[in-house]
Structure 1
């Protein structure tokens, strides 16, 4: 299982685990330490991951930060943990601020086990910034940010590279926030910029009021158009993959089958699961060989668009959702899934199915 899949498996467990996490210690044990383990750090080695790390600050003695990750005998990352229910207000980072100044660490992490905020010293040397340069929410996983998290893996961690990357991430994050605010509530300066581009004349109050609405609508339409273009591209890629198959693999559909197929609608959830399966298997096989074929009672995900090579089946037409798996002797095993991310829990079985097909085993 690759890094992103491991992160998604951990994230999928959070809703059920959170019901039993009542303390900061439980948050550390159930969520924070497993993430450090995924990042490649040995949480049982006190020379690598130091719990309750103490650094005296001025007259303050014996204060502790929850974890320090060491390299070459020096702390490189400080981690302050809060209870899973805690809001990560900047006040909660006070110990990080103090320790950052007097230690060799260049990365500070504030977390409640779900949200991870990463800090460094972009604004002033040896003084931790008040704004995080990276924020990861495991309940709202954005793959590009997960790729940034890879930089903190033990095997790839490089503080010199992170210095420039952190700067780019911080300013990118702040510009995105500005854009989000302008889209939701365009400022006068923002509206005036566009109005001057398309309309001559004085920028009066009435023009401002009119173009505030026009600008907001135009931005939302532009975003929706881009999303639709991406979806069309994804669907075209899917159709193309389905059509580029070997005629000897399957008999062509009869006219009756085509009529039935026209009555079937592939839902967004089925498509999302299709993309999840492609994501899981992308390192094992050319994802263009993974196709989707919807039926009346289930939606099939196939290898080479061949019904004799089912990867899995999606049973989403009933109240309870099921995933059909194929591992041995073509016997189908149905497992219940509550959330689409549950599919990541069966990544190994999906990979085994592909491996068996590729090795020409009869399953």
Structure 2
């Protein structure tokens, strides 16, 4: 992809993601997910969903009369299906559990070179990079439109998505591209590991190239914070260079004659788990079911979340003033632990429930109170 086109494509994709996230709470089943989320993505990539010779819904490709294989959409090129799309309802618990149907179609349709599995917000892209017509176990590209709507999408993902557009998609080359992407992701993971804890087999050659040889094990351990500090400084300089900001003087951890001690290691990166996303998606869908007033229904799209170490905060418009609840991650078999504000009317506020449906009453009460407080207008009672 031309680097000059990347910012423009990014802006269009972020805007598209925002519209999709706003539409998602109204997608109550698989059909509405297809209509309001999947079809718009197909159009975003340049394919004409109104042309059955280009986009065909409920397309089948069978091994035999006994074994029927269908996908929700097949995208055609030169009168042959080249892309298969399998859709699930928004908030499907685990897309990975639904790969079998897509894999079967992928295997049966010899011209298909890419499979897409989606719930309308999370998108996973699969190819046959290891063996022809055998769908890879892992996606070569994955993104969540909720993250994209917040601008959280890297250039590599943008380039990968752009390569799937109608004007540039090359079915014969997608397997090789996917292989490169898998290798890229693997290398990136290794770099992250080296960055956080440089192994001896990496540290010794690096120090040797820096002019320090014949290191004892003790000396090597003493230099390890220096290597980690140099990594951090390199990344910081790259960021500052892109932002066109002045570079601060680096602090060399553990260096001779340095009075200040090395800074403590940063906190572990925060990873939003599938269970937390499940809780957030449930909140949107459940409120859409519980709310009866149109003005209150329209405010559901303003619900967002923020992840912290040890807690997952769901809020309406404003994180503090609009907080709906805090969810505490625990073991899957131990139920769901929530902390609700006093507006919920729940006593005690810290509660563990077996199913998410058990929070209906405090969730609705809190949402109504937050909307009334922030919008500063009374929220009418739900009709009987």
Task: Name 1:176's counterpart in structure 2.
Answer: 188
Q: C-alpha displacement at 1:217, in angstroms?
A: 2.5
Q: Which residue of 1 aligns with 2:158?
A: 146
Does residue 116 of the first structure (1) align with residue 116 of the second (2)? no
TM-score, length-scaled by structure 1: 0.56
- 2:237 corresponds to which residue? 225
**2:34 equivalent in structure 1:** 28
RMSD between aligned residues: 3.2
Residue 71 of structure 1 pairs with residue 41 of structure 2:
no
CA distance in 2, matches of 1:214, 1:10: 44
Alpha-carbon distance in 2 for matches of 1:116, 1:207: 48
Distance in 1, Cα, partners of 2:193 & 2:64: 41
Q: Distance in 2 between the 1:214 and 1:80 partners?
A: 49
The unaligned stretches of length 5 or more in structure 1 are 235-318, 320-363
| 1:167 paired to 2:179 | yes
206, 216, 237: which is aligned to 1:194? Answer: 206
Contact 2:116 2:124 in 1 (8 A): yes
The residue aligned with 1:61 is 67
Report the Cα distance in structure 2 between the residues aligned to 1:52 and 1:115, rounded to whole angstroms: 21
SS at match of 1:77: strand
Secondary structure of the corresponding residue to residue 19 of structure 1: helix
For structure 2, list consecutive stretches of 5 or more residues without a partner in the other structure. 1-7, 247-320, 322-384
- Alpha-carbon offset, residue 195 of structure 1: 4.2
Deviations 1:301-357 (A, max 9, x none): xxxxxxxxxxxxxxxxxx9xxxxxxxxxxxxxxxxxxxxxxxxxxxxxxxxxxxxxx
SS in structure 2 at match of 1:130:
coil
Alignment of 1:79-158 (within 5 A): 79-86=85-92, 90-103=96-109, 104-138=111-145, 139=148, 140-158=152-170
How far apart are the structure 1 equivalents of 2:95 and 2:202? 30
- Scaled by the length of structure 2, the TM-score of the pair is 0.53
Task: From the superposition, tell whether residues 64 and 177 of structure 1 become closer, same or farther in structure 2 (CA, over 3 Å).
Answer: same
Kindly state the Cα deviation for residue 228 of structure 1 after the two structures are TM-superposed. 1.0
Contact 2:85/2:115 (8 A) holds in 1: yes
Indicate how the Cα distance of structure 1 residues 94 and 163 shifts in structure 2: closer, same or farther if over 3 A, else same.
Answer: same
- Closer, same or farther: CA 211–31 of 1 in aligned 2, 3 Å: farther
Task: Give the total of aligned pairs.
Answer: 235
Q: Please state whether the residue corresponding to 2:56 is helix, strand or coil.
A: strand
Contact 2:123 2:143 in 1 (8 A): yes
